[in-house]
Structure 1
């Protein structure tokens, strides 16, 4: 067989090129695998070495440059604000050195009644103070007189903010536009010279345009939206192909009226008063919700005022008790001192015993320590006096010593349980606040159910169009100016129809309904539990008022018995018929019983305060009334002007109106009881008077002649008549 050498060579050449290509491809794959393995190994080294490997990297130029942030960004600075010379600031700056163990009889007294203390606490500062308040550590939790106004002026919670969604909205736009661009169209051709190619010129488009649009739109409480639009377009073109145009520059435009009325979702005043114009399920920011927000803020403010009145009375009676306890300890110290001195004389003349003298000396120093603790201790006279000073807005110390001048109540006060319980469940601010929360969720349930519908809107538009060479003119030719063309009404358009849109399944709206229902059940459960808790608290307060009065009688009888015991043992000891231990023990007992008597006396007054607080009449009991602050300038005149155009309905039943949000005004400081029955006959007025004024202020308004129908009858039984004790002598404080 004969082989062609040329053919064999050609075959061999093709094979060698293919083999080399395969070798190069395998080599590239090996290099890629090696590079990938090295990259993985380097990553492992960095990850295992961590920051130690990165620390070995040299710093770049930017790492050696100081930053402005290092010295100024996190520097602690002192703010500069505008400050006014208010009463609290002056009181803070005018404090003198505090009292510790000074003799109270040598300090000028400042006689202060309970009514004056409450009045000062309300008038001195817009901040509502409280015992143990966190004004320094948590100022955001402190209540002030500005809180209700802040909610009313809030852009998210206030009524005015909710009403602003229905304000008329005006929008306007004005734009200029210049167009200068070539077009893919041959304009003209110039023959070439010297045998060259011809010169071809492309077409162009040049124009000046302007657009002016404005709109006035109004959202109504029924969900409808009305809009009035006006649009003007100006155009001037220099395109050679526009030779067919009527005017080289022209004004065109239209005047349009639109009415969009929801038929299902978003329709009706009920939905829009609750949810507002919002189309998002679960978002409720209507006027009624904003009104409830303001009412809740007023309830919170009222609760803070009640807490302030309770704290002031607590501090006032605690200070009065501190005076009595100090006086009891002073009398005990004086008695111990007399016994100690008498024992010293007996020891000097040789008729006494050294152990008895040591016992008398020890008891004297024991009472001396009690007197010092009663003066400067954490619950001593000066500490409690300073606490009352803070609540009424006075300086911490000013060289005077507050002395309570209001006598404590010692008459037996009996409240009718059924009436007091009814008042507590009706008048307590916590109940009213929670009922507002329930009302909010009830409204949200209504809105959520109304929102569980497709969006079906009726839309109607009507338009007047025009065209003109000028914008405004007086010519008589056709299309002389735009506004003449529009007002002639020759070109009118209109359309009407409906729009339907809804998410398939209405899942989000269904969730909003479920959320509102669960929230309503929760708030109702909380309301029921609140009423249950209030009934228990009122029961505790009623029990305490009976207990404290009984303890008052018992401790007074104990005090009188201990006084007689001391007199007897003192005579027996001085006659040498008894041991000194019995006398010293009797002296300690009389101080203890006197202190307990005064503690029970003021605990009884605080129990009276507590039952008024539990049944919602503490403000009236302390003669405090809440009132609205002054209106803005001109508001009264505007209200008077508006009222001249309003007329009362002659037949309200013939007018369909939405369900009212509340049942009417409520006065938390209304007088609940004015008469007293002493031993079955009305021989005097109730010692616990309840008359009224505030904004926060204390007023001296006359009491209404007719009490409320749910007033609690109060029976006052005098403690003096039952015990036949000279209380003036018992309350007398030694100088």
Structure 2
């Protein structure tokens, strides 16, 4: 026996064992040496075949998408050659007021633009007009998504299966010899149909219908096939955790501990999205006004530089005539020529420079959705305000702490945390549910139809006869000992609430500081406007005096050249101060939360779908107004009512004589005193 050959089975097992060992050895070698082992494998015939992956799989391709023509895309395609140093007086003017610019900016684009934005490099951060609708239509956190948890659910199932199972049963009564096993053969089918509904109180109702079909070769059966089934009604009512309208409106039905996505939470999320959209609109309006006044001051600075260049040219030409006549000096002629070229460079810079006329005009064009260049040049028609504006501080501070969109947004966040704390407190209870079921059973040889089987003729006759009825009633109790997770969730909700309250208090403090800085800036800008105007008038008089003295030959040309430079600088400073004053008024309205009303911008919901108006009309016919609301028990409302950020709020002024600055030159119309409301239309 020791020299006998092993059986075939043993040989196969030995070969399998050796192959397994070799595979394990190869896997271990690869895992320790990486892919380096394949470096020693010689190239095979497959290496001479060109791979599809080499030429196509890794190449860069252009996407094929469906696009539609819109106003921004048409503006991008219609852009002409940019302007650089062309004469603005020879370009057709496109007259535009500030109100028209803001109207174009808020109406002609679905993307809210901003100065210095990162739309191209970071498009996911862009704000569009679709953001509120996206928040509402969010399938996870929107209001409709939260309401869908209360929708009725209809489920159906239909399955078939067969059984062909041999059994260890001997009907001959003996154990010797061969026997044929009995085979249990069955054909089964199951049909389930159910309708479930969740209520706002936490209860769930269900109506189910189950049909089971079975065919069997069991000799003990009355008939080989039958239909069995039942119709069942179920009611499950939470008594502690998960019960009540308050909890289900906040957390939603069947929500876990620490998970809050009910209808009220979804509503607050939509309000926060609306506040973010309003903030983007405020930023857009602010940027448009900034670009508009920058264009105004660009025109003024260009005009001042052109006047300085023309004056320098006259001085240079006059000096050339004197030099040719033998009465002038060459160094004075060179100084006059140098100043001429200096002003010429300033004119060129104020035309095409980074802060020049064409750059400022293109910035405004982008914000209002026009092509970068279209052969026309925007010419502002709104004159900057140069009168003294007086605000009542107490009224402005009260409005800032209530109207600022940042404050309202943070209050919505605080309201959400308050509701989460309520839900977390209600979760600190055991799970106690009442469960009730009632069932009508039946059995029949046929599903529907007549036969000769008496009471078991068909299934539906058996069910509707009411001979077989069952019911169940009871309670289910579940409680984690210690309620550790619920307690931690409650502590977490309390900390979140304290955090949001601290942020709200800090937000209000920051708003008051920002408003104070804006009010200070108005006073400073108004005073600088007066000072720069007086400076400009003084420099004009100085140029007139020095020009006469230079013409008479009693003074050096250096004083005249210096005075000419100084008058251009003071004129530019005056117009910059005038623009800064208008921007300071704008900033005060922004900090006060009234910028939209100041620029007459209104936010409104778009048109509904046609069927929505019909649905609202039909639902409204079924509603009855409460004549005595105090007698109606309703949940606490989320908001105080509608809020329109575009509604003008009058700002009163202290009684008494208006302030007139002492330094205002007599006869000037540059500085006056005006007491206004938020729309800047009421003069007193």
1:478 Cα deviation (Å)? 2.1
My pick for the range that moved more, 124-133 or 470-479, is 470-479
Give the direction of change, closer, same or farther, for the CA distance of 1:73–1:716 in structure 2 (3 Å limit). Answer: farther
**Alpha-carbon separation, structure 2, partners of 1:72 and 1:268:** 61
Partner of 1:213: 192
1:461 Cα deviation (Å)? 0.8
Larger radius of gyration: 1
2:391–2:651 CA contact under 8 A, matched in 1: no
Give the direction of change, closer, same or farther, for the CA distance of 1:401–1:678 in structure 2 (3 Å limit). Answer: farther
Partner of 1:596: 573
2:530–2:663 CA contact under 8 A, matched in 1: no
Partner of 2:431: 455
1:187–1:202 CA contact under 8 A, matched in 2: no
**TM-score when scaled to structure 1?**
0.83
Q: Does 1:335 align with 2:300?
A: no
1:60 Cα deviation (Å)? 6.8
**Alpha-carbon separation, structure 1, partners of 2:569 and 2:192:** 90
Which of the residues 170, 175, 195 maps onto 2:154?
170
2:550–2:560 CA contact under 8 A, matched in 1: yes
Matched residue SS, 1:277: coil
1:108–1:399 CA contact under 8 A, matched in 2: yes
Which of the residues 94, 98, 104 maps onto 2:82?
98
1:677–1:716 CA contact under 8 A, matched in 2: no
Residues 540-594 of structure 1, C-alpha deviations (whole Å, 9 max, x = no match): 1101111111111111111111111111111111111111111111111111111
1:183 Cα deviation (Å)? 2.0
Which of the residues 175, 180, 183 maps onto 2:164?
180
Partner of 1:204: 183
1:188–1:202 CA contact under 8 A, matched in 2: no
Residues 240-264 of structure 1, C-alpha deviations (whole Å, 9 max, x = no match): x32xx33332221111111111111
2:418–2:497 CA contact under 8 A, matched in 1: yes
Partner of 2:392: 416
After superposition, residues 358-507 of structure 1 pair within 5 angstroms as 358-473=334-449, 477-507=454-484
1:630 Cα deviation (Å)? 0.7
Q: Does 1:222 align with 2:198?
A: no
Equivalences, count: 644
1:280 Cα deviation (Å)? 1.6
Residues 79-138 of structure 1, C-alpha deviations (whole Å, 9 max, x = no match): 111111111111101111111111111111111100110111112111111101111111
Matched residue SS, 1:186: coil
Residues 434-475 of structure 1, C-alpha deviations (whole Å, 9 max, x = no match): 111111111111111111222111111111111222222356
Q: Does 1:533 align with 2:517?
A: no
Partner of 1:711: none
Partner of 1:724: 667
Partner of 1:262: 238
1:70 Cα deviation (Å)? 3.8
**Alpha-carbon separation, structure 2, partners of 1:635 and 1:484:** 45
**Alpha-carbon separation, structure 2, partners of 1:64 and 1:648:** 85
Give the direction of change, closer, same or farther, for the CA distance of 1:66–1:457 in structure 2 (3 Å limit). Answer: farther
1:487 Cα deviation (Å)? 1.4
Give the direction of change, closer, same or farther, for the CA distance of 1:316–1:576 in structure 2 (3 Å limit). Answer: same
Matched residue SS, 1:478: helix
**Alpha-carbon separation, structure 2, partners of 1:46 and 1:286:** 51
Matched residue SS, 2:181: strand
Unaligned runs of 5+ in 1: 1-38, 191-196, 681-714, 729-735
Partner of 2:320: 344
Residues 473-499 of structure 1, C-alpha deviations (whole Å, 9 max, x = no match): 356932222212211212111111111
1:59 Cα deviation (Å)? 5.5
**Alpha-carbon separation, structure 1, partners of 2:572 and 2:89:** 20
Residues 32-68 of structure 1, C-alpha deviations (whole Å, 9 max, x = no match): xxxxxxx9xx98x997x98877744546777776654
Q: Does 1:151 align with 2:135?
A: yes
Partner of 1:127: 111
